[in-house]
Structure 1
Amino acid sequence: MTDPGQRLRSSLTAEQSASAVEFDSPIAMEALRATQVLHAADQEPFPVPGRIRVITIANQKGGVGKTTSSVNLGVALALYGLRTLVIDLDPQGNTSTALGVPHSVGTPSVYDALVGDSSLAEVVHPTTATPLLSCVPATIDLAGAEIELVSVVAREYRLRRAIETHLQELPPEQRPHYVLIDCPPSLGLLTLNALVAGDEVLIPIQCEYYALEGLGQLLNNIDLVRRHLNPGIAVRTILLTMYDGRTKLADQVAEEVRNHFGSLVLDAVIPRNVRVSEAPGYGQSVVTYDPGSRGSTSYVEAARELAHRGVALPPLPSRPTPGSPVAAPVGSATDVVAFPDTDAATVPVPPSSEENKA
């Protein structure tokens, strides 16, 4: 009889179809999935995107999986070889909790970059999940940021400027391949900053009817941002979350979303899984907490699909590509940033508050 441990080790280099035939029991398949995630460094890495991808994960409805998706997609991308930066823009700080990053009052956080004079480099924290994953945490101070930003010149561009400056200052070999921005469950100034800062939007949609009700309002807001603030923003990814295969409703919602959004919807679907909910209590993602669970497997597959979709993306003139030289920073109110695939070839960048005072 073949040694089970040897079968698991040999499966790492075997074809997926062959391993599926060999491991025909649920326990053996879960062990295989766990082994694959735990030995991600020994497997083929995810492909590097054609440009640095700044992805805003947004949905004004709460409880649809924004934070969970930000955390687990970020960990999965990093485990499979892609440098990833996760920015927690939710005052609740749940993303920071799940990544094991301190976010108590007084911790250098995204608040200091948005409202204060700190750079992102000063508020980035390493995570325990993998060396390739870092996080900008959020503290409760962020709850007052929307009020404090009201009188700031070009307040919608604060996060964009912070990200672009951070990318320009990093050496090519340290620039992240992915920047994931976790938004709060609202359509306020924080979410607006995230939409202006991002090049694309990922929308998690819970497989229930209420999740579809507010989707039109979110899409209208994204369209307004595209027309007035960031012509480069586009909804490129839809992720179905909390799928319960025991109900017809989940199938109906999934079918309706796929019929409407077509190829934007990832093939991978995130199921309801108790391990996904348990993991943050241990300061981990489900990918590291229980790598063999269905939740972990689904997020790894979603991250793989997301990575493969990014290979063909053309470089953006306003974003440096990994390993390429960076253009000089924006220096005056007359500077412009180019956006491809839009009617307007260029859009003026408003001056920062410091430039305005000068």
Structure 2
Amino acid sequence: MSRIIALVNQKGGVGKSTTTVNLAAALAVLGKAVLVVDLDPQGNTTTGLGVDKRELKRDVYDLLLHHSAIDDVVRTTEIPGLALIPATINLAGAEIELVSALSRENRLKTVLSSVSAQYDFTLIDCPPSLGLLTINALTAAHEIIIPVQAEYYALEGLSQLTTVVRRIKEALNPPLEITGVLVTMFDGRTKLAMEVLEELHAYFPRQMFKTQIPRNIRLSEAPSYGKPVILFDVKSRGSQAYLALAKELLAPTEVVA
């Protein structure tokens, strides 16, 4: 059974797509079978994994709204064991179309149930909103990772997000849990970053990942080459941080060398 994890934060620019791409790549390098679902119409995760959106005939939109066969949509990537359900701008209209759709909150859950046995992990990159696409992700997921940038407004919106998670858990998906809060773009040399980290620990005392993702030039450059940072520069601080995060995520269930 796949561990289905939604990466969610309604704030944009906090590192959701970067984390989805690079955590998935790190897990695959560690020998896990991983499926990535790009649920953001911007499609940054799709391009970050080296898939040209212009060449796609079908994407996640077709799975959610047109009941396309999942095998017609899943794409392989450069990393063995890492597959992708891509997104294109077509997904931008899905929020409106889902409003009147039957079982609108369960579309993604139904899709993933047919392939969950094939993967150890499924990572869902959510859009920067709390609309029906994100609700689909939260209904399908077992776990949540919340990426948070180490900035002044880091805690803004987290109360609303946790309220939505609680309501989804109560009404649609009782097993749903917040596995961890991940600090991204972290620079421990600054007073602000340390203050934000302290505030987050106070807000999520038992749910903070020990790993923080640093600000790193190689991490910023990798998407323009369509590669996870582990393929772009495995020795970079960004690559090593995501490997550490993957091992931390695996730690409750197994020992990772």
For the criterion TM > 0.5, the same-fold answer is: yes
Checking the alignment, whether the CA contact within 8 Å between 2:154 and 2:196 is kept in structure 1 is no
Is 1:95 matched with 2:45?
yes
In structure 2, the residue matched to 1:67 is 17
Q: Which moved more, 1:274-283 or 1:114-123?
A: 114-123
Give distance in 2, aligned partners of 1:58 and 1:156.
Answer: 16
Deviation by residue 1:64-109 (Cα, 9 ceiling, x = unmatched)? 0000000000000001100000000000100010100122275311
Checking the alignment, whether the CA contact within 8 Å between 1:100 and 1:284 is kept in structure 2 is yes
In structure 2, the residue matched to 1:202 is 145
Checking the alignment, whether the CA contact within 8 Å between 1:105 and 1:140 is kept in structure 2 is no
In structure 2, the residue matched to 1:35 is none
Is 1:255 matched with 2:198?
yes
Alignment of 1:251-290 (within 5 A): 251-290=194-233
Q: Which moved more, 1:68-77 or 1:244-253?
A: 244-253
The alpha-carbon distance between structure 1 residues 117 and 303, as it changes in their structure 2 partners (threshold 3 A), is same
Is 1:137 matched with 2:86?
yes
In structure 2, the residue matched to 1:296 is 239
The one-letter code sitting in structure 1 at the alignment partner of 2:84 is C
In structure 1, the residue matched to 2:160 is 217
5+ residue gaps, structure 2, are: none
Give distance in 1, aligned partners of 2:175 and 2:53.
Answer: 32
Checking the alignment, whether the CA contact within 8 Å between 2:25 and 2:82 is kept in structure 1 is yes
In structure 2, the residue matched to 1:338 is none
- 1:311: Cα distance to partner? 4.5
- 1:310: Cα distance to partner? 4.2
Give distance in 2, aligned partners of 1:261 and 1:309.
Answer: 19
The one of 159, 173, 176 equivalent to 1:233 is 176
The alpha-carbon distance between structure 1 residues 258 and 163, as it changes in their structure 2 partners (threshold 3 A), is same
- Secondary structure (helix, strand or coil) at the match of 1:211 reads coil
Give distance in 1, aligned partners of 2:67 and 2:205.
Answer: 43
Q: Which moved more, 1:228-237 or 1:82-91?
A: 228-237
Structure 1 segments, 4+ long, off by >3 Å, are none
In structure 2, the residue matched to 1:150 is 99
In structure 2, the residue matched to 1:26 is none
- 1:261: Cα distance to partner? 1.6
- Secondary structure (helix, strand or coil) at the match of 1:262 reads coil
Checking the alignment, whether the CA contact within 8 Å between 2:124 and 2:137 is kept in structure 1 is yes
- 1:234: Cα distance to partner? 1.1
In structure 2, the residue matched to 1:165 is 114
Alignment of 1:78-89 (within 5 A): 78-89=28-39
Is 1:308 matched with 2:257?
no
Q: How many residues align?
A: 255
Deviation by residue 1:279-302 (Cα, 9 ceiling, x = unmatched)? 000000111111111111111101
The one of 109, 112, 120 equivalent to 2:59 is 109
**CA RMSD of the aligned region, Å?**
1.4
Alignment of 1:38-49 (within 5 A): none
- Larger CA Rg, structure 1 vs 2: 1
Checking the alignment, whether the CA contact within 8 Å between 1:102 and 1:137 is kept in structure 2 is no
Checking the alignment, whether the CA contact within 8 Å between 1:103 and 1:109 is kept in structure 2 is no
Give distance in 2, aligned partners of 1:288 and 1:194.
Answer: 28
Checking the alignment, whether the CA contact within 8 Å between 2:105 and 2:135 is kept in structure 1 is yes
Give distance in 2, aligned partners of 1:224 and 1:205.
Answer: 21
Checking the alignment, whether the CA contact within 8 Å between 2:39 and 2:133 is kept in structure 1 is yes
> Normalising by structure 1, what TM-score?
0.69
Q: Which moved more, 1:60-69 or 1:226-235?
A: 226-235
Checking the alignment, whether the CA contact within 8 Å between 1:105 and 1:139 is kept in structure 2 is no
